[in-house]
């Protein structure tokens, strides 16, 4: 429910800001700025998405977990969605998510939080596939 309200507030703020900027620089210039921001953002998104895909493949090839790259890819998909929404607020949010240091920070926080929750669910015990038991060889 709160996500719907957040979306409505974002749309209202985007519209208000578009009108304000349009009155200052003109409607044509505002539209050009939105188009240029979208094109630049999409080109950077494409380049970084390819880089993330390559790191994901390298992690898989080396046998490591690609969890960070998966979350990074999810954030890049969110960035693409924000770039498709016409408006300056969503463009600024998308451009912030395009910054690799900020994404790495968000990925690091997400991984720490998810690992902590997983540890709490398991009671702090480590799950292994070892079954303890005794055996006796019979000839």
| Range of the structural domain that residue 16 is part of | 11-117
Q: Which two tokens stand for residue 100?
A: 């690799």
Question: How would residue 121 be classed by pLDDT, with cut points 50, 70 and 90?
Answer: low
Domain presence at residue 74: yes
Assess if residue 137 is contained within a domain. Answer: no
pLDDT value of position 29: 93
Number of H helices, E strands in the chain: 5, 0
Q: Give the Cα separation of 9 and 87 in Å (integer).
A: 13
pLDDT tens digits, one per residue of 14-47: 999 999 999 999 989 998 988 888 888 778 778 8
Q: Confirm whether 124 is domain-assigned.
A: no
Nearest alpha-carbon partner for 76 in 112, 52, 55: 52
* pLDDT over 80 (residue 116): no
Q: What is the mean pLDDT of residues 52-58?
A: 86
Whole-structure pTM over 0.75, yes or no? Answer: no
Sheet strands (E) in the chain: none
How far is the C-alpha of 49 from the C-alpha of 55, rounded, in Å? Answer: 10
Q: Is residue 27 part of a domain?
A: yes
Is-contact 117 123, C-beta < 8 A? no
48: pLDDT confidence band, cut at 50, 70 and 90? confident
Split into its structural domains, the chain has a count of 1
Is residue 43 a part of any domain in this protein? yes
């Amino acid at each position: 429910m709160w996500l719907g309200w957040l979306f409505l507030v974002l749309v209202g703020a985007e519209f208000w800001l578009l009108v304000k900027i349009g009155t200052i620089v003109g409607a044509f210039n505002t539209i050009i700025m939105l188009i240029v921001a979208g094109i630049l953002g999409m080109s950077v998104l494409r380049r970084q998405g390819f880089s993330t895909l390559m790191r994901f493949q390298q992690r898989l090839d080396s046998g490591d977990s690609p969890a960070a790259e998966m979350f990074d890819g999810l954030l890049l998909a969110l960035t693409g969605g924000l770039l498709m929404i016409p408006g300056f607020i969503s463009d600024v949010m998308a451009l912030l998510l395009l910054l690799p240091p900020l994404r790495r920070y968000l990925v690091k926080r997400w991984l720490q939080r998810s690992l902590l929750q997983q540890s709490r669910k398991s009671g702090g015990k480590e799950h292994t596939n070892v079954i303890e038991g005794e055996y006796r060889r019979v000839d």
